[in-house]
Structure 1
């Protein structure tokens, strides 16, 4: 499907973010948040199929065409949540909805739980809460994260002689995707460099988290949600192998839609995008 999309820039006090803009000016305001190491192109198939919405699909900081954070700054989930709030402030949106995939869904949950007065509705795709860690392993994990920051100086991004090689690599990356999906993500995520092409993403995005929420923290955020929540679970997605999370879903205040497809079912093909759109169109049209 050919998407009518506008490229925009958002100048926040601390960073410049890029975004794709979809939908009518008078549509319901929605900020769309992509997954880790992806970019705004993840919504290329889905956004045009969502009816009556004014969608701003961000490139998160360090991703796509957005700026990288300053030296010494971090890419923690709550840093993204603040970016999202500041984008809404710039757009003049006091109340808005969030459409999130994977990491974008996690950021959506954290923000909606922390600032319920700002969020109208959540539409989540194969993501809900971050990977958790318990207190007894926190010192060990912090040490690993600090060492990884020191070691990063010696690491170099991969360079691909042809764009096709980068597409092949993305097909096998985190949350394996179809070739068409990989081409869309790579088209926005690559830049020329000596010897070929490399990823625009900030290398710091690959660092391990210095501190993880506990299971109790994660559940508290979900239980604090006050807005309607629709969660699409991909049958071959990344959440399908999380038995603890699947058990939670039986008791949490969410509308769950189980659909065929992988972690990027909204981008892999038109059929998957339409099935996700059908779920969310019903949700956004509800009173």
Structure 2
């Protein structure tokens, strides 16, 4: 596996984000967006298999080596779209493609639906729409979020005496991953503390959402997409077993490919990364 990337920090008007840069400076502009609680290492296997693209693999705010939101701030999913747009502005990209996995795919859809004039293409990996909530559940959900926020001050992050214990925990986490994938994510996602290691991620990322889009809201963003879209679904992933997703896709003009593997099929092993790369090469303009 090639790790031929450049580590950079991007000073945006409102925050500072970390990223891995892959490919030539004059390559096809692509911003790669990882999933919830992951980091830029999510694309460590895939990005080198897409030569000719200028891939900016971000650490989302609160993840990896990027800054956390300021005190009192939150991590509403639509706020990430502003971060991504500011990254494009910094690189001088008026048009760019998005390569998104899971939450990163959802952010990609929100941005492309809202600002179709900026997004050239969408390459999505096992992600499409955010979790939704209907109006009648809104008061309950806000209450749950507020109580969880109050309780956060009394909680602490887990500390792992050994690096391998953190790797094992990540293997069993949300969107279970292979050992090699967990090691890649942990190498970037951990920091040393007294007694061992803990995650760099902002603890507020684990709080429940105080407000969710309704199903109608979420589908409106998908319906608003104007650019070409290619979605890779994993056979053992998070989308494949959802009948509502299948029904939605039937009426949309997007390419859909189903590949063997789990939710992190692009990172779990070289074979999965190769399959995903083969799906996206021609689509993203790899020479």
Number of equivalent positions: 287
8 Å CA contact 1:102–1:126 kept in 2: the answer is yes
Give the corresponding residue for 2:60.
60
Per-residue CA deviation, residues 217-263 of structure 1 (Å, 9 max, x unaligned), is 11110000000000000000011221111211111221101000000
Aligned-pair Cα RMSD in Å:
1.1
Residue correspondence of structure 1 range 176-187 to structure 2 within 5 A: 176-187=176-187
Residue correspondence of structure 1 range 36-51 to structure 2 within 5 A: 36-51=36-51
Give the corresponding residue for 1:170.
170
Give the corresponding residue for 1:197.
197
8 Å CA contact 2:141–2:210 kept in 1: the answer is yes
Superposed displacement of residue 3, structure 1: 2.6
Give the corresponding residue for 2:142.
142
2: CA distance, partners of 1:53 / 1:285? 8
Superposed displacement of residue 285, structure 1: 2.8
Give the corresponding residue for 2:271.
271
1: CA distance, partners of 2:147 / 2:193? 28
1: CA distance, partners of 2:254 / 2:136? 31
2: CA distance, partners of 1:254 / 1:8? 33
1: CA distance, partners of 2:237 / 2:271? 16
8 Å CA contact 2:121–2:229 kept in 1: the answer is yes
Per-residue CA deviation, residues 93-120 of structure 1 (Å, 9 max, x unaligned), is 1110000000000000000000000000
Give the corresponding residue for 2:157.
157
Secondary structure at 1:217's aligned position in 2?
A: helix
8 Å CA contact 1:17–1:60 kept in 2: the answer is yes
Give the corresponding residue for 2:245.
245
- Structure 1 unpaired stretches of 5+: none
Give the corresponding residue for 2:15.
15
Give the corresponding residue for 2:110.
110
Residue correspondence of structure 1 range 79-90 to structure 2 within 5 A: 79-90=79-90
Using the size of structure 2 for normalisation, the TM-score is 0.98
8 Å CA contact 1:223–1:253 kept in 2: the answer is no
Per-residue CA deviation, residues 96-148 of structure 1 (Å, 9 max, x unaligned), is 00000000000000000000000000000000000111111011101111111
1: CA distance, partners of 2:242 / 2:185? 26
8 Å CA contact 2:28–2:285 kept in 1: the answer is no
Give the corresponding residue for 2:230.
230
Using the size of structure 1 for normalisation, the TM-score is 0.98
Give the corresponding residue for 2:283.
283
Superposed displacement of residue 153, structure 1: 0.5
